[in-house]
Amino acid sequence: MDVKALVSQMTLEEKAGLLSGSDFWHTKAVERLGIPAVMVSDGPHGLRKQDEKADHLGVNESIKAVCFPAACATTSSFDPELVMAMGEAIGESCQHEKLAVVLGPAVNIKRSPLCGRNFEYCSEDPYLAGKMAAGYIQGVQSRNVGVSMKHFALNNQEHRRMSSSSDCDERTMREIYLTPFEMAVKEAKPWTLMCSYNRINGVFASENPWLLTEVLRKEWGFDGYVMSDWGAVSNRPAGVAAGLDLEMPASGGANDEKIVAAVKAGTLDEKDVDLCCERILEITYRYLENAKPETPWDQEADHELAADIEGECAVLLKNDGGLLPLRKDAKVAFIGEFAKKPRFQGGGSSHINSFKVTSALEAAEEAGLNVTFAEGYSVEKDCATEAQIAEAVAAAKAADAAVLFVGLPDVYESEGYDRTHMKMPESQDRLISAVAAANPKTVVVLHNGSPVEMPWIDQVPAVLEAYLGGQAVGLAEVRILFGDVNPSGHLAETFPKRLQDNPSYLWFGGEAKCTEYREGIFVGYRYYDKKEMEVLFPFGHGLSYTTFAFSDLQVSAKEIADTDTLIVKATVTNTGSRAGKAVAQLYVGDVKSDKIRPVRELKGFRKVALEPGESKTVSFVLDKRSFAYWNEEIHDWHVESGEFTIEVGGSSRDLPLKETVTVRSTAELPRHYDENSVFMDLAADPRAMAVLKPLLDGMKAMLGGGDGEKSEAAAEAVTDDMSAAMMNYMPLRGLVSFGGGKALADQLKGLIAMLNQK
Ligand code: BGC
């Protein structure tokens, strides 16, 4: 479709109209020109297509659909191909349901465990989030359906989400919060993006030209359209000028009128309006011209797929003495309401009306396993009565092993508000301790979207983090618990010992108007590692029923320029007796840097399936970005020349392989000297030292007392090392006070001009 030609035939009113929805879920049609409306739907881990009453909070019913595991789980798979398969299935269901765009993936960084929507978000690590988002997008869009990657950007809390300003320095934005969006835009070309509700450094994302045009389009090359989050528009004409193409949902024509008025008043360029229309129509016709409503949607097959996916996502956090897997002939007590009625998804706009749900109890019974059940606690009442605990203890005592299905009730975490603490219900903590005391073979299975404190961790030998595992979670759990599936999930976030340890603890939530990102780039493991802090479970951690060894780390060169790529290879061996999947993780660290940087950062990962005894080589390609930080002065990525560590292993705290490489920067940073420039900076610059040498030689002779010899007392009071160290911090102007006098003061300007000469 020649959309430019189409737009040129539209009146200003028609064009302004096209820039907002016709209702909650549809774009507007322009009947005169035969432009149809198309429908969008939440997402991201299944469809929330609302046929009748519409809302954006998951209140009203949507069609029966398939609920796949939420992103907290799928990201733990560390397998972009797996989420690609999920995306393909979702794309097909969109075709079947005539949906042009699915609203996801949601890739905001998990700044704090408290964010109410963490269950929908991917990770505390931007590289992992970016790779997983790209996989999902490629999957959905391979079926000619668009995604809307959200919420762009810095929407890392629910508290005051529609008005608060996320105040953050640019380096932190670039290195942490924008990176997942950037990676996915470049690698997977999402058809649309959804801007966030919040402001960024005071300017609403929905009218932020720096974000929506400078960075997103000009720097990253995004060529789709940007829609607003539902109700995120504040100043619509400003949004059009900034690059916000589509306002969602409908504004009843109010904002369309404002667009028309602004164009007529000459405060908004009609060309900006045209551009927004063209971008929307480009994507609309990309869908329409490839629409395949006859695509079948086999929900039963997707249910199986959801179970398979969750089997790859659940993280085995602890398994002392190899308690898991359980023997299939063992008598096992399943305890806890979540065994019967699992919590498998979060609340809000991502809430899916599952066509069926398989609980662990049902799955175990269907598999003919010898399982008993005790309720243990009540989710609705958020309590565990003495009778419930006594029944659970009796069931545990009468069984070979007890499995507790526990976690966070819906009301504890949801879109729309943040958690206020990181604890599980007190009743469940009590139940776990009581059951663990009754049967030493106690397993805890967690259903939650974000980390919890585990006061009972030393009392139980095994913990399986199922996260919010989708409607088939019970199937996957039983397969893992009884050994049909070997767990291979790894944590995409750190579990701190307590909330207070989290780097954003002092600032998260913020004050009335803003939330300051004062912890900067030190998010998640970047902080815990720098502080050498003990954590409950580190980023990247995940056990298996087999064991893996990492060996033979090879780098393609010991020294490279920052324009080169480096190939890193390592061998992973299955040293146990079961087939399993390892996740090889590669972290890069700058050994010595003028910039304050994390100890290590994830720059590559590979999931590999290995038979017992089998070895495979994994390889990674590192480029400039793997070593760079965001330099605010040159407004670009920069590598500081020097040594970098390359570590490979099975988690951020288990990295047996280490190499060092030297990376040479091909870019020279501009140097600006003035009278306050200090000697240690000048000394690091050979050109500056050449300029200063005659002056310094003269002063040295003078300070040495003429004959160059110090008295014994003077030498004792200030050693040569000490004076050298003090000299490090001496500003140029100091030379005037400490010896140079007026003669030097007169020369200083000229000297500084020479230092700054290119
Ligand atoms: C959420 C979005 C969602 C939209 C539509 C908003 O409240 O923030 O993630 O896609 O509603 O339901």
What is the chain's Cα-based Rg? 30
| Exposed / middle / buried, residue 370 (Cβ in 10 Å: 0-12, 13-18, 19+) | middle
**pLDDT above 70 as % of the chain:** 97
Q: What letter does residue 588 receive in the DSSP assignment?
A: E
**pLDDT above 90 as % of the chain:** 88
Mean predicted confidence (pLDDT) in 277-301: 98
CB 454 within 8 A of CB 414: no
Residue 524 pLDDT more than 60?
yes
User: From the CA of 349, how far away is ligand 1's center (Å)?
Assistant: 5
Return the amino acid letter for 751: L
Per-residue model confidence as pLDDT tens digits over 710-757: 667 766 766 777 767 778 888 999 888 877 788 888 888 899 999 998
pLDDT band at 112 (very low <50, low <70, confident <90, very high): very high
For the ranges 5-9, 76-80, 93-97, 732-736, the lowest mean pLDDT is seen at 732-736
Q: What are phi and psi of 644, to 5 degrees?
A: -130, 145
The beta strand positions in 665-711, using DSSP E, are none
pTM: 0.96
Q: How many residues does the chain have?
A: 758
CB 317 within 8 A of CB 463: yes
List the Cα angle 385/387/390 in 5-degree steps. 110
Return the amino acid letter for 631: N
The CA distance from 406 to 300, in Å, is: 27
Mean predicted confidence (pLDDT) in 61-82: 97
CB 416 within 8 A of CB 158: yes
Output the CA–CA distances (angstroms, integers) from residue 613 to 162, 490, 573, 609, in the order listed.
54, 22, 7, 12
Q: What are phi and psi of 744, to 5 degrees?
A: -75, -40
> Which residue bears the tokens 């480029």?
623
| Exposed / middle / buried, residue 21 (Cβ in 10 Å: 0-12, 13-18, 19+) | buried
- 103 Cα nearest atom in ligand 1: 10
How high is the pLDDT of residue 706? Answer: 47
> Which residue bears the tokens 């609920």?
67
Per-residue model confidence as pLDDT tens digits over 406-435: 999 999 999 999 999 999 999 999 999 999
* Strands 629-631, 636-638: pairing kind: antiparallel
How far out from the chain centre does Cα 18 lie?
33
How far out from the chain centre does Cα 280 lie?
27
**CA-nearest residue, atom 5 of ligand 1:** 56
User: From the CA of 104, how far away is ligand 1's center (Å)?
Assistant: 9
Residue among 655, 313, 344, 626 nearest 492 (CA): 313
Q: Mean pLDDT for the chain?
A: 95
Largest CA distance in the chain: 98
Per-residue model confidence as pLDDT tens digits over 22-58: 999 999 999 999 999 999 999 899 999 997 777 777 7
CB 467 within 8 A of CB 476: no
Catalytic residues: 229
CB 77 within 8 A of CB 312: yes
> Which residue bears the tokens 């749900």?
357
- The encoded tokens of residue 113 equal 């465990």
How high is the pLDDT of residue 715? Answer: 67
**CA-nearest residue, atom 12 of ligand 1:** 56
User: From the CA of 107, how far away is ligand 1's center (Å)?
Assistant: 13
**CA-nearest residue, atom 8 of ligand 1:** 229
Per-residue model confidence as pLDDT tens digits over 430-452: 999 999 999 999 999 999 999 99
Provide the b/e sequence for 391-424 (b: ≥16 CB within 10 Å): bbbebbeebebbbbbbbbbeebbbbebbbeebbb
User: From the CA of 26, how far away is ligand 1's center (Å)?
Assistant: 14
Ligand 1: list residues with CB < 6 Å. Answer: 42, 56, 103, 150, 229-230, 349
Mean predicted confidence (pLDDT) in 389-403: 98
- The encoded tokens of residue 739 equal 């010896």
Mean predicted confidence (pLDDT) in 338-363: 96
Residue 704 pLDDT more than 70?
no
- The encoded tokens of residue 43 equal 């997402």
Q: What are phi and psi of 394, to 5 degrees?
A: -65, -40
Residue 258 pLDDT more than 90?
yes
Continuous H helices in 142-178 = 170-172
- The encoded tokens of residue 637 equal 């990525």
* Strands 203-204, 146-152: pairing kind: unpaired
26, 42, 118, 197: residue to mutate for ligand 1 pocket, most atoms within 8 A of CB: 42
Mean predicted confidence (pLDDT) in 332-351: 96
| Residues 6+ positions from 206 with CB-CB distance below 8 Å | 195, 197, 228, 229, 232, 233, 234, 239, 242, 244
Per-residue model confidence as pLDDT tens digits over 632-687: 999 999 999 999 999 999 999 999 999 999 999 999 898 899 999 998 899 888 88
- The encoded tokens of residue 158 equal 């629910």
Residue 460 pLDDT more than 80?
yes
Cis peptide before 303 (omega within 30 of 0): no
